[in-house]
Structure 1
């Protein structure tokens, strides 16, 4: 028993090692074998398989305790097959199987006596013709499944020779000649795609012998049966660039064809759209060029009222009065008269602020109004310079002088004067015009000077 298990382990290890090699060499071409739907191919439909595994009289059907021998033993079996695939789901295969089936501890015979200790059936050869139904290879999303479950059923003929060992240890032939019997093989399993030309085949098969002679112990009315669990490799014949019919997925091919045609349609429509867009872009460019040329005839860049095409003095400052050619008019000379000076001097003499503040007292407003009118009418510029005496800190005096000058500027602007032509500056106590030691001197130093220009 231990020897058989070692042999089985070595056999399975060899098969798996071989499958790994095939997976490494064929996987790179597995995506090349696409077939259009309803085209009829080409496909690879022929394959051969080799397998090895364990044979035992126990099966998954029925009560094993009621079999002729109640202690099964596992023996090594091996075989192969040739398969022809007719559709993605249906194929016919011719199977060959060889090996041994053993068991011990027979049940009592019809007389109630236990006579046999064990049996060994040597399966010299067996041949069967079976239908192979592949499941799970129809999928909408996947090109093909990595695993294909399958069912098999058929009929076969075999030749075997059985020996029986009784309780005393004497071994005898159940028949001097090979026994030939019909049997019905029923199996299931799954195949794993290792590449475009090889599959790993893992299966289980129950063989229903059409007699009760297989184990050399004819008791009761039931026929004998034995099972075969195996692992092997299936080799697909033909070019690796041609698809396997057994793994072909017609539903996914229809989907692939639809996606390709849809992509081609989109590409064609996109090309037409791009062509029309290019034409529209060209028309838009031509129109923009025409509009730009027309704009040159109507644009007035500096806003002086003279179109650029006729403007001999471009970039004239805003508000500048120009002649018909766009050139500035000569400015009239404006002189500061004695009357103008008197108006300013009167405003200085009448200017009063609240004590220590920048608030202008009302009695100063009439003279300031006349200064505002002068600035508005003659467009003069005015510089306001605020000064204080030395009473208080330097920072306080500087801020107060600046605030008073700004207060006057704000008042003049509120009366219509141009703010951009009035400059307000504070000098604090830094520029006295009299001594700060007397009240009269300090009064003179507290002033706002008006400079008209």
Structure 2
């Protein structure tokens, strides 16, 4: 028994690579986004998980692996079945199976696989009224890294159930009797199966399978020869119908590596688009920086903001790129103010007269002022004019009058060609008297415009 079991396991393992290659076809079409197939971590809500199946085939009182039989020659008989399946994961489901049919065998083969020479019976026939089992089904070859669309899958199953049957046994003399006249025998059994399933469409699968049933008793053939355990096998072909919306794929055919691959490709493409966008933005930024840094005349101001392009090299510029005024490099000529110059100014002061209460210069003062104008132009001198009044009148009026008289002198001199920037005119009103304002002579002295050359 052990050697037979080992041979069966080795045979199953060696067929796995062939089944894996045979079950798939290359996906030449564009892969659908992972959302249409439920996604890698989207749960089972996006798939069809329930299905029903019907099948028909043959029943034999023998199995591929598991010991000897009580009769030397088993016979093929019809069998039928149905199931309801709940797909828990893409590789695992729970399946409730029902199987019925007939089992037959005899001892017509002298050197068969049983103990025919010592058996008092020539044949048996058992009606398998019903059998129900709950099985865990594992898809062995659904996952495939090379292809995305599975067309076939190899699976194995293991479970437990209860069978109800009625044997009839025939003696060597040809007498047939019921093994248990009082009713149906009920025994626990362990089903172990394997099969291959083909996906015909999203709504139909073709199921080919073989299940070995190991009974917890020796009553199936009506010949109780303990401690042997009876067994039978069911080979079938059937159709499976997925339940639910046709818009959803079947979870049993879900290929996580393919979905993972599609998701990774989508993420790669998205990252590539984002990277290309970043490269484009970086290129624009680099162009903007290059434009900002461009300085054709090398004056330290970008061409973008340079209002005076083409500045000569070495010229100092302001913030707009325009040259700053160059300092006067001509050494100033030292001007010597002589006593004669001071006398001329004193004469102008002494001869300066205004109309009473006004800033109008009397014509008698013009010759002296002309000499002062000539002096200022000739020696490029500067002049400070300070206007003063007596205390007759209000302080405010006196301040205004003193300022106006100083400005009148400045206007006269600039009219003679003196640079206005060289003359400063200020009024002090009655604030700086040089004599008493109590006498007419003192008030006359206080009504003056002082000249200061420098």
**What's the TM-score once normalised by structure 1's chain length?**
0.51
What does the per-residue CA deviation read over 1:31-55, in whole Å, with 9 as the maximum and x for residues that have no partner? 6842211121412111111111110
2 CA distance for matches of 1:111 and 1:265? 74
Q: 2:34 aligned with 1:44, yes or no?
A: no
Per the alignment, residue 233 of structure 2 pairs with: 227
1 CA distance for matches of 2:125 and 2:143? 44
2 CA distance for matches of 1:111 and 1:99? 25
* Deviation, structure 1 residue 194: 1.1
What does the per-residue CA deviation read over 1:374-408, in whole Å, with 9 as the maximum and x for residues that have no partner? xxxxxxxxxxxxxxxxxxxxxxxxxxxxxxxxxxx
Q: 2:204 aligned with 1:168, yes or no?
A: no
2 CA distance for matches of 1:269 and 1:111? 80
Per the alignment, residue 76 of structure 1 pairs with: 78
User: Does the CA contact (< 8 Å) of 1:190 and 1:203 recur in 2?
Assistant: yes
Per the alignment, residue 35 of structure 1 pairs with: 38
Per the alignment, residue 210 of structure 1 pairs with: 216
Structure 1, 48-57 or 112-121: larger mean CA deviation: 112-121
1:142 partner SS: coil
User: Does the CA contact (< 8 Å) of 2:210 and 2:233 recur in 1?
Assistant: yes
User: Does the CA contact (< 8 Å) of 1:68 and 1:106 recur in 2?
Assistant: no
User: Does the CA contact (< 8 Å) of 2:48 and 2:251 recur in 1?
Assistant: yes
1:262 partner SS: helix
Per the alignment, residue 59 of structure 1 pairs with: 63
Structure 1 segments unaligned to the other structure (5+ residues):
1-27, 282-453
What does the per-residue CA deviation read over 1:78-104, in whole Å, with 9 as the maximum and x for residues that have no partner? 001101111111111110001001001
* Deviation, structure 1 residue 143: 2.5
What does the per-residue CA deviation read over 1:203-249, in whole Å, with 9 as the maximum and x for residues that have no partner? 11000011101000112421100001111111111112212221112
Per the alignment, residue 100 of structure 1 pairs with: 102
Per the alignment, residue 200 of structure 1 pairs with: 206
What does the per-residue CA deviation read over 1:415-437, in whole Å, with 9 as the maximum and x for residues that have no partner? xxxxxxxxxxxxxxxxxxxxxxx
RMSD: 3.2
User: Does the CA contact (< 8 Å) of 2:179 and 2:222 recur in 1?
Assistant: yes
* Deviation, structure 1 residue 202: 0.9
1 CA distance for matches of 2:43 and 2:89? 10
1 CA distance for matches of 2:223 and 2:242? 42
* Deviation, structure 1 residue 61: 1.0
1 CA distance for matches of 2:237 and 2:37? 29
1:265/1:110 Cα in 2 relative to 1: closer, same or farther (>3 Å)?
A: closer
**Residue 133 of structure 2: which of 128, 134, 138 is its match?**
128
* Deviation, structure 1 residue 267: 3.5
1:182/1:138 Cα in 2 relative to 1: closer, same or farther (>3 Å)?
A: same
Per the alignment, residue 152 of structure 1 pairs with: 157
2:253 partner SS: coil
1 CA distance for matches of 2:94 and 2:127? 27
User: Does the CA contact (< 8 Å) of 1:137 and 1:144 recur in 2?
Assistant: no
Structure 2 segments unaligned to the other structure (5+ residues):
1-28, 288-454
1:265/1:107 Cα in 2 relative to 1: closer, same or farther (>3 Å)?
A: same
1 CA distance for matches of 2:50 and 2:276? 45
* Deviation, structure 1 residue 260: 1.2
Superposition misfits of 4+ residues, deviation over 4 angstroms: 30-33, 106-113, 268-281
User: Does the CA contact (< 8 Å) of 2:63 and 2:212 recur in 1?
Assistant: yes
1 CA distance for matches of 2:172 and 2:107? 9
Q: 2:192 aligned with 1:186, yes or no?
A: yes
What does the per-residue CA deviation read over 1:235-292, in whole Å, with 9 as the maximum and x for residues that have no partner? 11111221222111222211101111222333444466678989999xxxxxxxxxxx
Give the structure with higher Rg (CA): 2
2:130 partner SS: strand
Per the alignment, residue 139 of structure 1 pairs with: 144
1 CA distance for matches of 2:69 and 2:47? 45
Per the alignment, residue 248 of structure 2 pairs with: 242
Per the alignment, residue 89 of structure 1 pairs with: 91
* Deviation, structure 1 residue 131: 0.7
1:246 partner SS: helix
2:40 partner SS: coil
1 CA distance for matches of 2:217 and 2:226? 11
User: Does the CA contact (< 8 Å) of 2:37 and 2:47 recur in 1?
Assistant: no
